[in-house]
Structure formats: structure tokens, C-alpha cells
């Protein structure tokens, strides 16, 4: 056995250990050490680990160890969110696969021509790595046969869900035999991932290398401020904590509009949500907030009901909540998924009695005098949202939109954020500096063979 290589603890072929040594893989990373024993046993595994933790090699070693080179059929399928990631995964797997001759790894991604892929598929492959839309395209055409797949991997599952791929993934998986090993990797673990894991895996082993804080950690700050200075105090609070996304709660619909407008006047990006909005306006606002095209949502309790927002960095009680339950409910929206969150409550001198209702020992009462005004402070969102006037009813899928934007590789996959597809409309978040390019590209592109109206939400 190769000495000093702790991969040697695993039941791996000697030649593979040598290759791993040559790649400089001497020690297993935590996610590899925890997952590989189960993966090699053939168990289903769902693993959460942060980026750069070596997840690719974890499943790559697993599927290669099981591969039978003589059986020239697709034995492993890896589904990735973008072409860039699929190429990275392919390159890492090809490196590890050098321990044995003639292992064929094929990528099948959107944004490139179909024809050459058909040719490669006719030549055959052992391992296919692809993006959901293109894989489904081949399956629909009958050019991809997954009947011999033994290992199915979903890499960066959270990102795939963000991009709106869940239905496509389910469809692709319907072509893979039920008797298989399914491995799911994700950096974050929202409820949707758990649902997905549940629907495609069989008693999976759960691996988590991210140490989660025991409970959600919400730091609660209270600021006493005269009513007429509330807005100014809010601006100072934002300047002090510099949150990335915030919900500001107030008690009336009129206020939501006023506060959002005042904030925008101060170069702080904000949108109001309240019961007066038409359904389509409400969707526009929520989509923008969820896909990072809007930094602050100014909401009433009613309008914010049922919102499940991940990674919310701050909640502000602009007006005092009317009960302990409402308080707990409001602040519980921050610090999801083990992240730290901040809850700030503003109150007037006359409201001190009401504050005592929410009191607990962990709360910190700060003096407004400690807040300074930073004239240069501004909040601008990372993304801008493009709307396409076509959706599920037009059979548009996330892969179609992604393919249209990333074709010719003019816009890099990572600049594209969440894709939301509704019945008659679709939304795609694009990094600010690429929005003009994306608009021009989509304006002149056909999606599902049709030209759809598109516009930018501003």
C-alpha cells in the first residue's frame, strides 16, 4: 500500500492510490473522509460541505471505483448546474481516471452544438456529466441511454434548484434505473434540498462537515429613537451593520411605500410590499428580493406572511410588533441555516413599556448616539431581473433560458442567478454588469423557436 496516504485506508485499487498520490491528494478532506466509506459501500449519501472542500473527488473516486471498463455503457451520470462546473468536474474525474486505461468521460451541456454530442454518444462513454436541460434534450431525442446507470450524482444541488431546474432534474432521473446509488452534494441545505433528496434517494447517509451553530443565532439590538427621526436612524443602522438583504417591518401599507421611497432617494435600494399590490406586482417584487435584485423589502406583517427567504442578513422592526409572537416570528426570518443574523428594533421613549413584552437577557440596548451618518453609504443589488413574457404554458424550461443566454459563451454561467418560471412569465437574475449584454442577446434570440417580449425590471 502507498505509505503515508490516508486514502490507503479505503478499499481502493493500488493504481488509483498511486494516481491520487501523484495528484498530491495525500490526505482526505473532511467530506471525503466522512463520505467515502459509505459511498464505497454503495450507500446513498447526501453531503453538505462548503465550496472547495473536495466534493468532486469524493463522488469521483466513488463512481470510478465501481466502474467496469469492459462494459462500455453509461454507468455513471453526474448532473451539474452549469457548463463551467460540468467541465471542471469532468477534468477532475479524468485526472483520477488516469489510473486505468480507456475510461471515457463525456460532457453534455447546453450552449454548445448538439451535433458533435450525438457523434460522441454514438462512440459511447462510461461516465456522462451534463446540465439538466441538455441531458433532457438528448433523452427526449432518444440519443442518450441511461438504462445501465449504476451511480447518479447531483452536484451543487442547491444551485440547480436556484436556477429553477428541479422539474428537469426529476425528468432526467426518471430515465435512470431505480436500482442505483444516488449521491447528492450541496453547499447549503434549504428545505427544498431535503425534499429532493427524499424523493430520489433511498435511506441516505447524511454528512455535514459544516459545523452548525447550535441554534439560529440572532443578535437583537434595540435603539431608542424619537418617532420623527426613525427614518434617519434606520439609514444610520443600515450604514453601521451593512447587511446584504433586509426586511423592514412596519405597521401600515402607506408607510411601506413611504419608507421604500425615502430609502431609494438616499441611494438605498428598496421595494415595498403590501396588500394593495396586484398579484403580478407582488410577484415582481418578491422575485426581485429573492434573486438578489433588490436589497430591502419594506413590508407589513400580512404581506410578509409565508415568505421563506434564505440567508436573510437583517430584520428591522421599524414599528414595534403588536405581540411577542409577532416579534419572534419577524426576527426568526433572519439567521436561517446556521448563519448569524441581526434583528434591530426601534422604539420611542413612550414605547418602553411595550418593549418589556419581548424582553430577554440576550438583547442589547444601544444608544443612538453611537450611530453616525455616512454620506457615502449606499446599497445596490448584485443583480438585475429580466422578465420574459413566456412561461410554463409556453413549455419554457430553465434550461432553455440558460441556453439562450450562455450560448456563444458571451455571458459566463456564474453571472446568471436564479431563474423563476411561472405560467406565463419567467424571471432571470443577471449580474448587473452583464444585464445589457443579456438583454441584447435575448431580444434577438428565439426560445423554444419563438420570440418573446422581454424587459428589465427596474
| Residue numbers at the binding site for ligand ADP (CB under 6 A) | 24-25, 27-29, 32, 49, 51-57, 92
Phi, psi dihedrals of residue 235, rounded to the nearest 5°: -60, -40
Shortest distance, CB of residue 46 to ligand ADP, whole angstroms?
14
**Dist. CA 99–CA 61, nearest whole Å:** 11
**Dist. CA 26–CA 23, nearest whole Å:** 8
Measured in whole angstroms, the distance separating CA 392 from the mean position of its chain's CA atoms is 21
Shortest distance, CB of residue 54 to Mg ion, whole angstroms?
9
Instruction: Choose the one of Mg ion, ligand ADP, none that binds residue 431, judging by a C-beta under 5 to 8 angstroms depending on kind.
Output: none
Shortest distance, CB of residue 202 to ligand ADP, whole angstroms?
23
Shortest distance, CB of residue 7 to ligand ADP, whole angstroms?
7
Q: What is the DSSP letter of 191?
A: H
Which residues, numbered 39-98, are part of the site for Mg ion (CB under 5 A)?
Answer: 55
**Dist. CA 169–CA 80, nearest whole Å:** 10
Dmax (CA) of the chain: 80
Shortest distance, CB of residue 228 to ligand ADP, whole angstroms?
50
Shortest distance, CB of residue 52 to ligand ADP, whole angstroms?
5
Instruction: Choose the one of Mg ion, ligand ADP, none that binds residue 300, judging by a C-beta under 5 to 8 angstroms depending on kind.
Output: none
Pick the closer one to ligand ADP by CB: 190 or 403. Answer: 190
Instruction: Choose the one of ligand ADP, Mg ion, none that binds residue 24, judging by a C-beta under 5 to 8 angstroms depending on kind.
Output: ligand ADP
Pick the closer one to ligand ADP by CB: 24 or 119. Answer: 24
**Dist. CA 335–CA 102, nearest whole Å:** 49
**Dist. CA 387–CA 389, nearest whole Å:** 6
Pick the closer one to ligand ADP by CB: 156 or 400. Answer: 156
Pick the closer one to Mg ion by CB: 43 or 55. Answer: 55
Pick the closer one to Mg ion by CB: 151 or 394. Answer: 151
Instruction: Choose the one of Mg ion, ligand ADP, none that binds residue 4, judging by a C-beta under 5 to 8 angstroms depending on kind.
Output: none
Q: Which residue is nearest to Mg ion (CB)?
A: 55
Instruction: Choose the one of Mg ion, ligand ADP, none that binds residue 287, judging by a C-beta under 5 to 8 angstroms depending on kind.
Output: none
- The count of residues interacting with Mg ion (CB under 5 A) is 1
Instruction: Choose the one of ligand ADP, Mg ion, none that binds residue 306, judging by a C-beta under 5 to 8 angstroms depending on kind.
Output: none
> In terms of Cα–Cα distance, which of 370, 390, 379, 407 is closest to 453?
390
Please name the residue that has the C-alpha cell 418602553: 352
Shortest distance, CB of residue 117 to ligand ADP, whole angstroms?
24
> In terms of Cα–Cα distance, which of 416, 383, 398, 404 is closest to 85?
416
**Distance set, CA 228 to CA 83, 233, 259, 318, 320 (Å):** 53, 10, 13, 12, 15
Name the pairing type of β-strands 76-79 and 217-224: unpaired
CB 441 within 8 A of CB 414: no
Pick the closer one to ligand ADP by CB: 91 or 453. Answer: 91
- Chain residues that interact with Mg ion, rule: CB under 5 A: 55
Amino acid at each position: 500500500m502507498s505509505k503515508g496516504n490516508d486514502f490507503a485506508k479505503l478499499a481502493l485499487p493500488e493504481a488509483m492510490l498511486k494516481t491520487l498520490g501523484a495528484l498530491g491528494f495525500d490526505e482526505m478532506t473532511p467530506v471525503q473522509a466522512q463520505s467515502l466509506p459509505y459511498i464505497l459501500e454503495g450507500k446513498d449519501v447526501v453531503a453538505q460541505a462548503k465550496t472547495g472542500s473536495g466534493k468532486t473527488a469524493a463522488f469521483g473516486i466513488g463512481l470510478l471505483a465501481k466502474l467496469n471498463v469492459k462494459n462500455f455503457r453509461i454507468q455513471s451520470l453526474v448532473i451539474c448546474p452549469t457548463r463551467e462546473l460540468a467541465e471542471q468536474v469532468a477534468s477532475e474525474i479524468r485526472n483520477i481516471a488516469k489510473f486505468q486505461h480507456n475510461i471515457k468521460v463525456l460532457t453534455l451541456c447546453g450552449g454548445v452544438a448538439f451535433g458533435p454530442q450525438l457523434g460522441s454518444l454514438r462512440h459511447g462513454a462510461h461516465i456522462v456529466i451534463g446540465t439538466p436541460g441538455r441531458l433532457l434534450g438528448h433523452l427526449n431525442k432518444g440519443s442518450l441511454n441511461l438504462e445501465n446507470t449504476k451511480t447518479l450524482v447531483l452536484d451543487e444541488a442547491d444551485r440547480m434548484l436556484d436556477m429553477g431546474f428541479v422539474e428537469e432534474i426529476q425528468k432526467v432521473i426518471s430515465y435512470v434505473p431505480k436500482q442505483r446509488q444516488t449521491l447528492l452534494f450541496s453547499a447549503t441545505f434549504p428545505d427544498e434540498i431535503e425534499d429532493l433528496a427524499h424523493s430520489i434517494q433511498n435511506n441516505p447517509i447524511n454528512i455535514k462537515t459544516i459545523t452548525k451553530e447550535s441554534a439560529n443565532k440572532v443578535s437583537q439590538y434595540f435603539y431608542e429613537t424619537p418617532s420623527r427621526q426613525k427614518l434617519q436612524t434606520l439609514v444610520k443602522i443600515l450604514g453601521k451593520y451593512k447587511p446584504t438583504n433586509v426586511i423592514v417591518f412596519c405597521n401600515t401599507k402607506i408607510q411601506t411605500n413611504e419608507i421604500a421611497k425615502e430609502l431609494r432617494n438616499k441611494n438605498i435600494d428598496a421595494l415595498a410590499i403590501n396588500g394593495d399590490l396586484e398579484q403580478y406586482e407582488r410577484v415582481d417584487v418578491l422575485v426581485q428580493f429573492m434573486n438578489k435584485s433588490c436589497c430591502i423589502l419594506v413590508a407589513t406583517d400580512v404581506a410578509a406572511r409565508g415568505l421563506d427567504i434564505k440567508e436573510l442578513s437583517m430584520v428591522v422592526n421599524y414599528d414595534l410588533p403588536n405581540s411577542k409572537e409577532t416579534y419572534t416570528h419577524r426576527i426568526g426570518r433572519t439567521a436561517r441555516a446556521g448563519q448569524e443574523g441581526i434583528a434591530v428594533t426601534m422604539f420611542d421613549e413612550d414605547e418602553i413599556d411595550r418593549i418589556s413584552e419581548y424582553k430577554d437577557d440576550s438583547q442589547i440596548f444601544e444608544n443612538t448616539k453611537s450611530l453616525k451618518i455616512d454620506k457615502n453609504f449606499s446599497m445596490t443589488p448584485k443583480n438585475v431581473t429580466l422578465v420574459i413574457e413566456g412561461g410554463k404554458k409556453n413549455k419554457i424550461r430553465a434550461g432553455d433560458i440558460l441556453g439562450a443566454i450562455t450560448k456563444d459563451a458571451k455571458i459566463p454561467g456564474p453571472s446568471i442567478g436564479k431563474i423563476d418560471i411561472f405560467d406565463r412569465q419567467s424571471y432571470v437574475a443577471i449580474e448587473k454588469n452583464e444585464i445589457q449584454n443579456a438583454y441584447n442577446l435575448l431580444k434577438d434570440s428565439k426560445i423554444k423557436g419563438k420570440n418573446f417580449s422581454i424587459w428589465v425590471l427596474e
